[in-house]
Amino acid sequence: MASWWNRSERLRSVLMVLVAMLVIWEALCWALKIRPFILPAPSLVLKDFVSAPAYFLKHSGYTLLITSVGFIVAVILGVTCAVGIVYSKFLDRILSAMLVSLNAVPKVALAPLFVIWLGTGTEPKIAISIMIAIFPIVIDTVLGLKSVDPEMVNLAKSCRASTLKILLKIRFPNALPSIFAGMKVAISFSLVGAIVGEFVAGSIGLGHIILLSQGNFDTPRVFVALTLLALLGTILFYLVDVAESLLLPWHVSQRSVHGDAPVVQGGL
């Protein structure tokens, strides 16, 4: 129990700050008599959620689906592009030029175009999510694949290892920490993409709820959707974080987490 108390210190301090902020918010709303459609008190937001939990969960589930599919496809496509960029001068020129110019355009501005191309269903939303999330993945994966010790590659070559073996046994595992760094940025970006997609078209998802409630001046409902979005984003980020610490126990950034492995002393 005591050890749990110590280990959860960070979590406890975060929760304490959150609760304190909610209490101040609630108190200010009542004390200053702020009208709910300007800024609803937390209790009103909670009340609105409790009035129709199934409705909110359905829409959250849809946004979660768009975000996850967008993220997963972005990771697969992004890593594939990065391998192409690292291994082929030709692909490097083509893909890098394309990605850089595409990245220069505010991608939100492209969202209406996707509706024209793909309609108002799930597809354009996933496409926007992928488009926004793919950049950090490509950039970080390229960096990771390139920053391998040339002496390690020499060792592999001296054993006549194939290019594929060098990729799978050295470059790719070596790039995993960078890939995860890119994925942590991308998971938030794919949520942004999902919301942008829901803003532009369709009648489902948390983005749609926000737009609809705004039209009805139903500010508490806007806040319910925002809170659910914040929760979703946080949970997704920590899922990537947990996956990283499970998959990369060997990486420098994770060693203090698995602090039960001291450096062997003595014995030269």
Partner 1 sequence: MASQEKYIRIDRLDKTYASPRGPVKALEGITLDIAEHEFVSVLGPSGCGKSTLLKCLAALEGISGGSISIGGVPVAGPPDKMGIVFQRDVLLDWRTILDNVLITAEFRNLSRAQYEPRAMQLLKLFGLEEFANRFPWELSGGMRQRASICRALLVDPELLLMDEPFGALDAMTRDELNLELQRMWTENRKTVLFITHSITEAVYLSDRVVMMSRNPGRIAEVITIDLPRPRALSVRETPEFGRYMAHIRGIFTDMGILKDG
Residue 14 or residue 149: which is nearer to partner 1 going by CB?
A: 149
In the complex, least distance from residue 176 CB atom to partner 1, rounded to whole angstroms: 8
Residue 1 or residue 264: which is nearer to partner 1 going by CB?
A: 264
Which residues are near partner 1 by CB under 8 A?
149, 151-152, 154-161, 165, 169-170, 173-174, 176, 248, 250-252, 255, 261-268
In the complex, least distance from residue 242 CB atom to partner 1, rounded to whole angstroms: 18
> Are 139 and 175 within 8 A, CB to CB?
no
In the complex, least distance from residue 266 CB atom to partner 1, rounded to whole angstroms: 8
Residue 106 or residue 262: which is nearer to partner 1 going by CB?
A: 262
In the complex, least distance from residue 107 CB atom to partner 1, rounded to whole angstroms: 35
3-state helix, strand, coil in the chain (%, to 5): 80, 0, 20
- Distance of alpha carbon 183 from alpha carbon 175, whole angstroms: 12
Residue 3 or residue 158: which is nearer to partner 1 going by CB?
A: 158
- Phi then psi dihedrals of residue 135, to 5 deg: -60, -55
Strands (DSSP E) contained in the chain are none
* Burial class of residue 256 (count of CB atoms within 10 Å of its CB; 0-12, 13-18, 19+): exposed
In the complex, least distance from residue 78 CB atom to partner 1, rounded to whole angstroms: 21
Q: How far is CA 186 from the centre of its chain?
A: 4
Which sign does the torsion angle of CA 20, 21, 23, 27 carry? Answer: positive
Residue 8 or residue 154: which is nearer to partner 1 going by CB?
A: 154
Residue 132 or residue 181: which is nearer to partner 1 going by CB?
A: 181
In the complex, least distance from residue 262 CB atom to partner 1, rounded to whole angstroms: 7
- Distance of alpha carbon 34 from alpha carbon 54, whole angstroms: 29
- Distance of alpha carbon 78 from alpha carbon 146, whole angstroms: 15
